[in-house]
Each structure stands twice: as structure tokens, then as C-alpha cells.
Chains A and B, each alone.
Chain A
Amino acid sequence: MNATGKNQRAIRPASYNMWVGVFVVFILFVAGLFLYATQKIEYVWRWNRMPIYFVYQDTIEINSEIAGEVDTIVRKAEETTVAVKGETETVLYTVPTEGLAVVEGEIISLGDNIGVYEKWKPGLLLIGLWLTLKLSLMATIFGILIGVAGGLARISSNPALKWTVIIYVEIIRGSPLMVQILIWYFVLGTVINDILATYGLGRLSAFWYGVASLSCFAGAYVTEIVRAGIQSIHRGQTEAARSLGMTYAQSMRYIILPQALRRILPPLAGQFISLIKDSSLLGIIAIRELTKAAREAVSASLQPFEIYLVVAVLYLVLTFSLSMFVQHLERRSAIK
């Protein structure tokens, strides 16, 4: 493969550099148009407000739980211990020395501020991004498990398995994901949570119904991808494996699936890139993934342009990383 790449470079026509130039000019032109458009509209761009949606410093107040008098203050380099003496008890508070807000002998009432400290906290978009990542990752894992099992059942000669999977695939592929999510949460979710409650178990959160709906959805597509992958492996491979005395399961595990999985990596990557983007629908069952978090941020800040653009870039980062990762896998598993 490398050899052909080098050969291609060697025989590049003279006009090659010119077309590279055309490409760069085109990209700059589009970027320039975009920039021009942003300045033409009546909108105040405040990109400087964006970082707080990733991390921000939160001020945490330490308030007195009793009314009384500040009895003693013991100062140390980092922390200071304040003893508040009430009528019946003395309560000790530890505050950072810098944020100390009381002096010895001060009379304080219930809820008065003793000190403050500041703490870095993840912002709305970062929390959403993390949740999207978690949802997609779990749905990917379950999707692959469902897909491999489904693909094997799909090519099985057992009609019970085969027809069940055909119906599963057709129903899932033939209905909108949005509707499936609503069914999972409001119909199946209600039933499952009721059943769990009768056995004295806790409720499953919306997150798990989100994972279930996405896995189930991706699983149907992966089933077809796996089926096609297995069927693309030449029949001679199965015959060779079986003629050595391998069972059906052994020939699948050691011979057919390893070859099929290599072949289906590119369509699988496409499927899971879709899955990351589809997870944006889970906002409708109140899962605060990236898109839902963005909507909340927009309604609080009234900065839809910046926030939605940032969100688009964040999705792009996720999907592009996945795409790169799969390419890496493909290269590593390529048959030498």
C-alpha cells in the first residue's frame, strides 16, 4: 500500500500544486464569506463568554448554623478554624484563610457568612459533552453485542432466530428514532419501573432508557452490517475450517468473524458516528446531553450563535476522533 502511495506522488502532474492552491483559495474564500456575514448581521458576538460553559469558578459560602459569638479564630497558613459559641453549644468551622469574613468577638446570627472559598466547576457544555460521550460509548458497546448476536441469528438456519431478527431489524429501521426513544421512556420505562417497584427495587433513570433506545437502534443496523460482513467471507473459509473438524462456533470465532470484523470496520464507523449525532435526540426525555445542555445555556444567556457553533464543533471533535480511531484500527488489523 505504501509503495503505491509513493508511486502516485512520484508521477504527480505539474498542475498538482496549482490545484492545491485552488483548494486553499476556495477554503479561505468560504471562511471569508462567513466572517463577512457575521459582521453584517445585528448580533453582538461575545465569544469571551464561552469559557464559562466549560469551566467556571464557583463561590461557595460557609454560613453559620447557629446564632452566637465568634469565640476564637485560629489562623494557619492555608486554613483557619473559627469557633462560634452559641447559648448551648460551640460549633467549629474551617474556612480558607483568604476568604475569612469574621473577626473575633463578632456577634453573628443564624445564616451569617463566616467565609467563602472558590472552586473550579465543570460548565454546562462540558457536563453535556461528558454525558453524550458516556451515552454513545455504552450504546456502541451494547450495539456491537446486539449486532454480532443479531447478525449470527440472521444467517442461522433456525427460523425462530432468523425471523425474529428480521422483524426486529425491519421494525427498528422502519420507525423514527425519536418515536422509539419516547416508547422506551414513556411506555416500556413505565412498565419496567412499575415491575421493579413491585419487587422493591429502585427505578431506572432516563439515562438507562436512553442507552437502551440507542443500543437497540444501532443494534439493528449493526446486525445487517455484520450479516453482510459474514456473508462476504468466501464459503471456502468455512469449508476449510469445518473440514479440519472445527465446530460451527469455532469456525465462526477463529476464522470467519475475525475476517468479517475487519471488513465491516468502515461501515461500523459510519454507524457509530451517526449514533453520536443521534444521541442529541435524547434531550426529549430530559437527559441533559450536549444538545439539551446547549438549549439550556441558550435560554439562560441568549447567545444562540456562539453556543450552537461551539456545540457543532464539539460533536465534530467526537465524531472525528472516532473516525481517526477506526482508521487506526483498520491500519493495524489490515491483512499483511
Chain B
Amino acid sequence: MIDVQNIYKTFFVPHEVKALVDVSCKIKAGEVVVVCGPSGSGKSTLLRCMNRLERAESGHIVIDGIDVLSPKTNINKVRAEVGMVFQSFNLFPHKNVYENVTIAQLVVRKRSKQDTREKTNFLLDKVGISDKAKAYPDNLSGGQQQRVAIARALAMDPKVILFDEPTSALDPEMIGEVLDVMKTLAQEGMTMVVVTHEMGFAKEVADRVIFMDAGAVVEVGTPEHFFENPEHDRTKLFLSQIL
């Protein structure tokens, strides 16, 4: 599904930072992959490179057979197939919950109003927020906003969803409701790449865990392998600090 081959990314603000150094990974269809690591390790950058919100300088990223980095690729078509959920939700504050979910269906997918309405009602129901359809994002709790953001991503019928620390900006009591929605998606076979610090979620839901440090992939393995027999010292240190 997603094939990342030897990508590099360097930021120059305010001074040179090597965010990704020769990173490669593969995500298969239907797989849930958790990317974890200390802050500044390049997890989010890797995720954002996948739908070209950041442009990798070299290497290849192939999603569903399409070369994302090729200038000939219509990136908007790729992005429509790759959902993204942000740490800070990024709901559209001038549109209510219902419109947040419909706008891209109408504008990008050019769905009929009837289909859009059905899809939106179904998704709002699925993330448990139908009663807030007419509310504006600013009047919702963080957990509710993030669930709307997930519905907004799902509305495009994406082949894969990228979660960029979806629970990091939430109050502790709201993390559960968002993770529950994500677990349901995982059970339904959605391909997901999740950058998160929720190790419980990784243990329970992930098929594989990718551990990154200093812009490079340190260790890849199943949750059992990762949490019980980590090979690298860096991984052990990380786990000892957070668990």
C-alpha cells in the first residue's frame, strides 16, 4: 500500500536539521502501523511526507502504485485517497460539524447532495456525534472535534488514514473516546499509520511498531517483539522512560 524508500528531509529553519535520514518502510493494505519515538525523531515528518505536506528531498514514496514525489503525479488525487487526522484537529471553524464533513465530498469527490447527506449522516453516527451536527467546532470538546476530524477524513473513502498524534492535544478523559473510534476502524480493516505516544493502543491494536530516533528508523517489529524483546539499546531506553 505505502512503500517508502530511502527518503531524506532536511529543514533549514532556523538552522539545518536533518529530520529524516535514509528512511524506508512498508505499510501493507489492512495493516495498522504505529510509529513511535522521542520528540524530534522525525515521526510526524515521515507521516507528512507520505501525502507530500512536506516534500522529501530524495528517495521514493509509492502509494498504491503511484509515485508521490514525481512532479507528474496529481498530488490532489493521491491526497483524496490518503486521509489525514491532525494533532490539533484543524476543523474548519467557519463551518459546522455537518459542513466540515460534507465540504470535501462536494468539492473534491463531486458527490451528489443525496449521496453526501447519506454518507455524512452515516459517518457522524459512526463516530458518535450525530447530535452535534449543527454545532460549530469551537463549541465542541477536543475529543468531539477529533472524532469529527476522523469522520471528515473517512468521508473521502480513503485507502489509508494517517494519524498525526491524534490524542496528544486531548484532555486525558477524552483520549479514550478517540482511541475507541480508531480501534473500530482498525477492526474494520482500515489501513492506518498512527504516530502516537499511546503505548496501550500500540500493544492492543498495532500489527507492527516502527521506532524512530534522530530521523532514522531504529527498530521495526510486532508489538510483542517491540515491547517484550527490543533489540536496540535506544529502544530499551525509550521504553524504560515511558512505560
Judging by beta carbons under 8 Å apart, are A244 and B152 in contact? yes
Contact A243 B84 (CB under 8 A): yes
Cross-chain contact A258 with B94 (CB below 8 angstroms) = yes
> A residues engaging B (CB < 8 A)?
234, 236-237, 239-247, 250, 254-255, 258-259, 262, 335-336
Known: A245-B104, A254-B103. A240 touches B86 (CB 8 A): yes
CB of B103, distance to nearest CB on chain A (Å): 6
Query: Known pairs A244-B152, A245-B79. 13 more at Cβ < 8 A?
Result: A234-B90, A239-B53, A240-B90, A240-B152, A244-B79, A244-B83, A245-B81, A246-B107, A247-B76, A250-B107, A335-B93, A335-B136, A336-B136
When C-beta atoms are compared, the residue in chain B nearest to A262 turns out to be B94
| A254 to B106 CA separation, bound complex (whole angstroms) | 11
Contact A244 B53 (CB under 8 A): no
Give residues of chain B (94-120) contacting chain A, Cβ–Cβ below 8 Å. 94, 96, 103-104, 107-108
Cα of A243 to Cα of B152 in the assembled complex, Å: 11
List, in ascending order, chain A residues with CB within 8 A of B79's CB.
Answer: 242-245
- Name, among A240, A245, A258, the residue most crowded by chain B CB atoms within 10 Å (CB to CB): A245
What A residues does B53 contact at CB under 8 A?
239, 242-243
A239: chain B residues at CB < 8 Å are 53, 84, 86, 90
| Residue contact B94 to A244, C-beta cutoff 8 Å | no
List chain B residues, Cβ under 8 A from A259: 92-94
At the interface, yes or no: B77 with Cβ under 8 Å from chain A?
Answer: yes
Show 29 residue pairs from A and B whose CB-CB distance is below 8 angstroms, ordered by the A residue.
A234-B90, A236-B88, A237-B90, A239-B53, A240-B90, A240-B92, A240-B152, A241-B92, A242-B76, A242-B79, A243-B51, A243-B53, A243-B79, A243-B83, A244-B152, A245-B76, A245-B77, A245-B79, A245-B81, A246-B76, A250-B108, A254-B107, A255-B92, A258-B94, A259-B93, A262-B94, A335-B93, A335-B138, A336-B139
Which residue on chain A has the smallest CB distance to residue B138? A335
Question: In this assembly, does B49 line the interface, its C-beta being within 8 Å of a C-beta of chain A?
Answer: no
Report whether A244 and B80 are in contact in the complex, using a CB–CB cutoff of 8 Å.
yes
| Chain B residues near A250 (CB-CB < 8 A) | 107-108
| Nearest B-chain residue to A236, judged by Cβ | B90
How far apart are B215's CB and chain A's nearest CB, in angstroms? 21
Answer whether residue B19 sits at the interface, using C-beta atoms and an 8 A cutoff.
no
Give CA–CA (A243, B153) in the complex, Å. Answer: 9
A336–B135 Cα distance when bound, in Å, is 8
B194: CB under 8 A from chain A? no
Q: Which residue of A lies closest to B96 (CB)?
A: A336
With the chains together, A247 CA to B80 CA distance in Å? 10
> Is there an interface contact between A245 and B86, defined as CB atoms closer than 8 Å?
no
Taking the closest CB of chain B, its distance from the CB of A334, in whole angstroms, is 10
Task: Answer yes or no: B178 CB below 8 A from chain A CBs.
Answer: no
Most buried by A among B81, B93, B152: B93
CB distance from A259 to the nearest CB of B (A): 5
Most buried by B among A237, A240, A250, A262: A240
Q: How far apart sit A244 and B195, CA to CA, in the bound complex (Å)?
A: 19
B217 contacts partner chain A, Cβ-Cβ < 8 Å: no
Q: Are B104 and A244 in contact (CB under 8 A)?
A: yes
Q: Which of A236, A246, A258 contacts B108 (CB 8 A)?
A: A246
Is there a chain A Cβ closer than 8 Å to B156's Cβ? yes
Q: Which of B51, B94, B138, B156 has the most CB of A within 10 A?
A: B94
Give the CA-CA distance A252 to B149 in the complex, in Å: 19
B153: chain A residues within 8 A (beta carbon):
244
B77 and chain A: residue at smallest CB distance: A245
Q: State whether the Cβ of B91 lies closer than 8 Å to any Cβ in chain A.
A: yes
Smallest Cβ distance from A255 to chain B, in angstroms?
6
B123-160 CB contacts (< 8 Å) to partner A: 136, 138-139, 149, 152-153, 156
B76 neighbours in A (Cβ, 8 Å)? 242, 245-247
The 9 A-B pairs with the shortest beta carbon distances in the complex, nearest first, are A245-B80, A240-B90, A244-B104, A236-B90, A243-B84, A245-B108, A245-B79, A336-B136, A245-B76
Q: Please, which residues of chain A bring their CB within 8 A of the CB of B139? A: 336
Which positions 186-216 of chain B face chain A at CB distance < 8 Å? none
**Residues on A with beta carbons closer than 8 Å to the beta carbon of B152:** 240, 244
What's the least CB distance linking B114 to chain A, in Å? 21
The CA of A244 and the CA of B53, in the complex, are separated in Å by 11
Q: How far is the CA of A242 from the CA of B84 in the complex (A)?
A: 10
User: B83 — which chain A residues lie within 8 A by C-beta?
Assistant: 243-244
Contacts of A242 in B (CB 8 A): 53, 76, 79
Most buried by A among B82, B84, B90: B90
The residues of A that contact B81 with a CB separation of less than 8 Å are 245
Shortest Cβ distance from A251 into chain B, in angstroms? 9
Instruction: List, in ascending order, chain A residues with CB within 8 A of B77's CB.
Output: 245
Residue among A236, A241, A244 facing the most chain B CB atoms (10 A cut-off): A244
Interface-central residue, B84, B107, B108, by most chain A CB under 10 Å: B107
Question: Given the interface contacts A335-B93, A336-B136, does A236 sit within 8 Å of B156 by beta carbon?
Answer: no
* A44-B217 Cα distance, complex, nearest whole Å: 91
CA distance A241 to B103 in the complex (A): 10
Chain A min CB distance to B144 (Å): 16
Q: Give chain B nearest CB distance to A246 CB in angstroms.
A: 6
